[in-house]
Amino acid sequence: VQLLVSNKDAGTVIGKSGSTIQSVQSRTGCKIRISNNNDFFPGTQDRVLLITGTTEAVMMGAKAIITELLENNHTGEENPVDPATKDVVITMLVPEKTSGVIIGKGGENIKHMIEESGAKMKLNSKDTKIPGLDERVLTCDGKLANAKRAMEMVMEKVLEEGAAGYTNISTQYSRVSGMGGMGGMGGMGGGIPRTSNISNPTVTYTVHVPDEVVPALLGKGGSVIREMMEASGAQIRVSQKGEFVPGTNHRIITITGNQHSASYAHQLISSKIPQY
């Protein structure tokens, strides 16, 4: 799951000498990475915060981060306002392929989430989506409890679809913001399923990761990637050295299997990427 946070809020999440981010990770079991200072998501002044791990860990991690940002962050305030009474905005990035599930037929899903959470929710239209990127910006606006509930409901929808909905599982966007077709490399589809038969459809996903983290995914003699394939039942292929997404240093990972195995393989890959 990806959130957008300001430079100031990124510092709060990291904490002194990384104490806050380490505490959240140890308490929840998730992994958190934040884009570098002033490395903003294209078209915004916000940094990308990436949370990976099991479904439960990701949910717990996101809630813990919002708690740190919006409930516990009152240092230096002379007359702190009760956070429950404040209007807040939580900004998320959602995969393009998951947008339809969030909206629902005739907008029924997002209407239900708005009614149940009590928050205002806005998903940027396709026309305003950054060219070359597969993510759309979604905001949850309202009182703290309402905005948090809306965020949780969106995360549930995203995670139900499988983490493989994200084609970029890094926090680096500045180097790819000008390229086109990021999710549809070479006909691989970036999450578009290929059906082999009706009863057991095979899907193929592509994800892009920085070249420097590939050794951690492969392991000594390919041991790590073999373990992930055996555990998930999916096939995982990493592009050769020097075979990058055009204009970046991102290698291409192709995951092939049924919906469950491919999604699980993606979660395993995410958990193996070290913080950098």
- Digitized pLDDT (tens) for each residue of the chain, 276 residues in all: 899 999 889 999 998 888 999 999 999 999 898 888 777 888 788 899 989 888 899 999 999 999 888 877 655 555 556 777 788 999 999 888 888 889 999 999 999 999 999 999 999 887 766 666 778 899 999 999 999 999 999 988 887 765 446 666 666 665 443 332 223 222 222 333 333 444 457 778 788 888 888 988 888 888 889 988 888 888 999 998 888 888 788 888 988 888 778 777 877 787 776 543
The answer to whether the CB of 118 falls within 8 A of the CB of 149 is yes
User: Residue type at 18?
Assistant: G
Task: Give the separation between CA 214 and CA 238, rounded to whole angstroms.
Answer: 8
CA dihedral sign of residues 27, 32, 37, 38: negative
* Residue range(s) in the chain whose domain bears CATH number 3.30.310.210: 2-161
Domain covering 185-272, topology:
Ribosomal Protein S8; Chain: A, domain 1 (3.30.1370)
Residue-level pLDDT at 149: 95
The answer to whether the CB of 273 falls within 8 A of the CB of 52 is yes
Task: Give the separation between CA 82 and CA 109, rounded to whole angstroms.
Answer: 31
The alpha carbon of 81 is separated from its chain's Cα centroid by a whole number of angstroms, namely 31
Task: Give the separation between CA 141 and CA 51, rounded to whole angstroms.
Answer: 21
Residue-level pLDDT at 138: 92
Quote the pTM value. 0.62
User: Residue type at 224?
Assistant: V
Please tell me whether residue 92 adopts helix, strand or coil conformation: strand
Domain covering 2-161, topology:
TATA-Binding Protein (3.30.310)
* Residue range(s) in the chain whose domain bears CATH number 3.30.1370.10: 185-272
Residue-level pLDDT at 178: 35
Beta-strand runs (E) in the chain: 2-5, 31-34, 47-52, 87-95, 120-123, 135-143, 203-210, 235-238, 250-257
Residue-level pLDDT at 5: 93
Task: Give the separation between CA 75 and CA 27, rounded to whole angstroms.
Answer: 22
Q: What is the dihedral of CA 192, 196, 198, 199, to 10 degrees?
A: -110
